[in-house]
């Protein structure tokens, strides 16, 4: 046997046959101090070459097709055949790495493992390539989920398990991840890939908590369609929450709760948790509603709410008719009752207004418009209003071409502070005058006749102040009477004018409403008992006359005076 020191101390030697090297040491790293096996010109510290005439491949015999073979002849499962790499830093500390072949069975099955040194005498396995081609990296190399690539991190290591980085400064997409289902027989319904999310439940069972799919809905060339599906665990079952893409008919859509489960949809704004809400269980839709559920126990399907600063309105419907007159059905609010067996008085759509009771949290002032239908096909409106927090009265009806009170002798038309300018009518008003509805019927007293006589001399012509302010000298001349003069005439004859229906007096407050949110200033009136009279409002009191009542009063007095005159004339003529 040739000793290693003989080889090291002498010039190059050619050795035929078998050479056993015992304790060979090669100093230096230059090619002149290198060891060549199968080559006489090694370019690194140790270099081996196989014969060019021999065909070696990955499916051949590793015993004969290898440039370097390290053999562990132990028949024990788990035995190592390892290649160790060493380096030394400036402090003399030696770092070691190992690449090991690990026997996993007695059937030639081996894994390839990569180790790094973690201490003076310990190694930690960092990567393993299983004998079936699966690769595991990290702290858990068992590859329990049987993945082709398994990355793990243990303890408090919260770094990224995978980072894809591109330094491309152009506009191309990078870095990319591609999912490619390279099927020879693609079909509608194929799944092109998925992301699965696992975790442990409370008893430590490995549990699928969510996944994300891309599914083909149409594979036809030129009209391909697909959709994304997102599932999450709900009450122990994977539930489809979101679908984005094309459905079976090729229509693009975004669907929440395609599986028709009890899944709510909610959008937050900057200040509202429930800017837009769909409650699946109650089939309720809310916008700016303040709650994710239908409030106050109502069975409503839609609620749009706002706060006190919403001067623009909770709902605005806007369109541009573009001067079209042939089609007026635009920017409409439509109520459509599809009942084909409509009964008389059946509701076909209502509009209601509510407010809080000022004395508590219950419902207070209410008004409404109710649409009613009849079996014959006719329909009408009913108007409701509240005169107090506990009184919701039927104020008026609009039926066909007739506008009428909701009940007899309950509703007025206008009031002292809100008067009609003109009332246009073909015929005059009809006033009830049934004897059965009256009592204490009496002739005028002497004082009443004298007051009526005085009043009949008070009729004059005049112009309205507001008409003069608007039209100047073109303001029209009216004829009538002055209410204060009527009052004085009654009092001069020892009569209380306010006991007579022709004499009216009302009081209220008024204030001009203006500001940046009011395009045209206007005068708003407030009743004297209104708790919301604004600061700066002006007190106003006003006298009014019921001319029909006054003329009846004067006519009755005139008739009695004429009768007295005729009686005296008859007496004179009889003498």
Segment 132-156, tens digit of pLDDT: 888 888 877 876 677 888 888 877 7
Task: Work out the average pLDDT over 19-25.
Answer: 49
For 98, the 3-state DSSP assignment is strand
Give the residue among 137, 160, 158 at the shortest CA–CA distance from 149.
Answer: 137
With 60 as the cut, is the pLDDT of residue 56 above it?
A: no
pLDDT at residue number 354: 74
As a whole number of Å, the end-to-end CA separation of the chain is: 189
Share of the chain above pLDDT 70, in %: 76
Using CA atoms, how far residue 93 sits from 87, 89, 120, 370, in Å, is 8, 6, 9, 93
Task: Work out the average pLDDT over 13-29.
Answer: 50
Q: What is the mean pLDDT of the chain?
A: 81
**Element housing 574 (H / E):** helix 547-574
With 50 as the cut, is the pLDDT of residue 574 above it?
A: yes
- What is the C-alpha to C-alpha distance for residues 531 and 526, in angstroms, rounded to an integer? 9
**Lowest-confidence region among 34-38, 54-58, 454-458, 540-544:** 54-58
Task: Work out the average pLDDT over 354-363.
Answer: 65
Q: What angle do CA 532, 533, 536 make, to 5 degrees?
A: 140
Q: How confident is the model at residue 192 (pLDDT cuts 50, 70, 90)?
A: very high
Using CA atoms, how far residue 538 sits from 411, 516, 518, in Å, is 28, 22, 20
Nearest-10 crossing angle of helices 446-456, 483-492: 150
Range ranked top by mean pLDDT from 31-35, 299-303, 520-524: 520-524
In 167-234 the beta strands, taken as DSSP E runs, fall at 191-200, 206-218, 225-234
- What is the C-alpha to C-alpha distance for residues 485 and 161, in angstroms, rounded to an integer? 99
- For residues 355 and 364, the answer to whether their CB atoms sit within 8 Å is yes
Q: Which residue has the higher pLDDT, 53 or 268?
A: 268
Place of tokens 């709650």: 291
Architecture field, domain 445-574 = Orthogonal Bundle (1.10)
pLDDT at residue number 107: 61
In this structure, how many other beta carbons lie within 10 angstroms of the beta carbon of residue 279?
21
Give the residue among 251, 272, 259 at the shortest CA–CA distance from 229.
Answer: 259
In this structure, how many other beta carbons lie within 10 angstroms of the beta carbon of residue 66?
13
- What is the C-alpha to C-alpha distance for residues 276 and 268, in angstroms, rounded to an integer? 7
CA atoms within 13 Å, Cβ hemisphere of 409: 3
CA atoms within 13 Å, Cβ hemisphere of 157: 10
Phi, psi of 265 (to 5 degrees): -125, 130
* Rg of the chain over all Cα atoms, to the nearest angstrom: 51
Nearest-10 crossing angle of helices 547-574, 446-456: 110
Q: Is the pTM of this model over 0.85?
A: no
Give the residue among 124, 64, 76 at the shortest CA–CA distance from 100.
Answer: 124
- Maximum CA pair distance of the chain? 189
- For residues 357 and 363, the answer to whether their CB atoms sit within 8 Å is yes
Q: How confident is the model at residue 55 (pLDDT cuts 50, 70, 90)?
A: low
- What is the C-alpha to C-alpha distance for residues 287 and 282, in angstroms, rounded to an integer? 15
Model confidence pLDDT, tens digit, residues 561-571 = 898 888 889 88
Q: Which residue has the higher pLDDT, 211 or 339?
A: 211
Structure tokens, 39:
């080559």
- What is the C-alpha to C-alpha distance for residues 106 and 129, in angstroms, rounded to an integer? 18
Task: Work out the average pLDDT over 436-443.
Answer: 94
Which one-letter DSSP state was computed for residue 28? -
Using CA atoms, how far residue 178 sits from 174, 192, 340, 517, in Å, is 11, 11, 57, 56
Q: Which residue has the higher pLDDT, 117 or 339?
A: 339
């Amino acid at each position: 046997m040739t000793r290693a020191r003989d080889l090291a101390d002498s010039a190059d030697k050619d050795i035929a046959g078998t050479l056993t090297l015992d304790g060979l040491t090669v100093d230096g790293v230059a090619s002149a101090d290198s060891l060549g096996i199968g080559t006489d010109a090694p370019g690194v510290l140790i270099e081996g070459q196989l014969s060019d005439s021999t065909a070696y491949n990955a499916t051949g015999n590793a015993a004969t097709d290898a440039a370097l073979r390290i053999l562990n002849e132990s028949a024990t499962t788990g035995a190592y055949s390892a290649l160790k790499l060493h380096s030394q830093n400036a402090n003399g500390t030696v770092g070691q790495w190992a690449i090991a072949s690990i026997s996993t069975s007695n059937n030639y099955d081996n894994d390839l493992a990569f180790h790094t040194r973690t201490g003076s005498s310990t190694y930690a396995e960092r990567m393993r390539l299983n004998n079936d081609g699966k690769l595991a990296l990290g702290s858990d190399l068992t590859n329990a989920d049987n993945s082709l690539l398994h990355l793990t991190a243990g303890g408090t290591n919260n770094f990224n398990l995978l980072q894809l980085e591109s330094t491309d400064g152009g506009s191309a997409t990078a870095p990319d991840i591609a999912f490619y289902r390279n099927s020879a027989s693609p079909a509608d319904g194929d799944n092109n890939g998925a992301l699965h999310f696992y975790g442990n439940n409370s008893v430590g069972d490995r549990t699928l908590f969510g996944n994300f799919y891309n599914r083909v809905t149409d594979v036809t060339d030129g009209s391909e369609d697909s959709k994304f599906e997102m599932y999450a665990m709900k009450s122990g079952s994977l539930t489809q929450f979101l679908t984005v893409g094309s459905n079976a008919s090729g229509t693009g859509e975004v669907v929440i709760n395609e599986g028709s489960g009890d899944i709510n949809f909610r959008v937050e704004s900057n200040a509202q948790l429930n800017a837009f809400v769909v409650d699946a269980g109650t089939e309720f839709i809310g916008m700016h509603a303040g709650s994710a559920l239908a409030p106050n126990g109502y069975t409503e399907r839609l609620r749009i709410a706002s706060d006190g600063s919403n001067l623009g309105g909770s709902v605005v419907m806007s369109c541009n008719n573009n001067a079209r007159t042939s089609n007026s059905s635009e920017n409409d609010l439509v109520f459509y009752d599809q009942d084909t067996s409509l009964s008389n008085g059946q509701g076909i759509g209502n509009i209601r207004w509510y407010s809080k009771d000022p004395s508590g949290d219950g419902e207070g002032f209410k008004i409404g418009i109710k649409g009613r239908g009849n079996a014959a096909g006719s329909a009408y409106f009913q108007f409701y209003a509240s005169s107090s927090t506990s009184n919701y009265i039927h104020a008026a009806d609009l039926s066909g071409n007739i506008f009428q009170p909701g009940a007899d002798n309950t509703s007025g038309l206008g009031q002292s502070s809100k008067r009609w300018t003109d009332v246009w009518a073909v015929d005059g008003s009809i006033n009830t005058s049934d004897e059965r509805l009256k009592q204490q019927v009496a002739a005028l007293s002497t004082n009443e006749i004298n007051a009526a006589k005085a009043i009949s001399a008070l009729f004059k012509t005049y112009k309205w102040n507001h008409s003069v302010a608007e039209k100047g000298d073109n303001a029209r001349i009216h004829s009538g009477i002055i209410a204060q003069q009527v009052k004085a005439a009654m009092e001069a004859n020892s009569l209380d004018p306010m006991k007579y229906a022709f004499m009216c007096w009302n009081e209220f407050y008024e204030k001009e409403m203006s500001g940046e949110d009011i395009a045209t200033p206007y005068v708003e009136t407030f009743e004297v008992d209104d708790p919301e009279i604004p600061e700066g409002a002006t007190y106003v009191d006003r006298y009014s006359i019921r001319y029909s009542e006054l003329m009846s009063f004067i006519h009755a007095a005139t008739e009695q005076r004429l009768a007295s005159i005729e009686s005296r004339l008859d007496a004179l003529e009889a003498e």
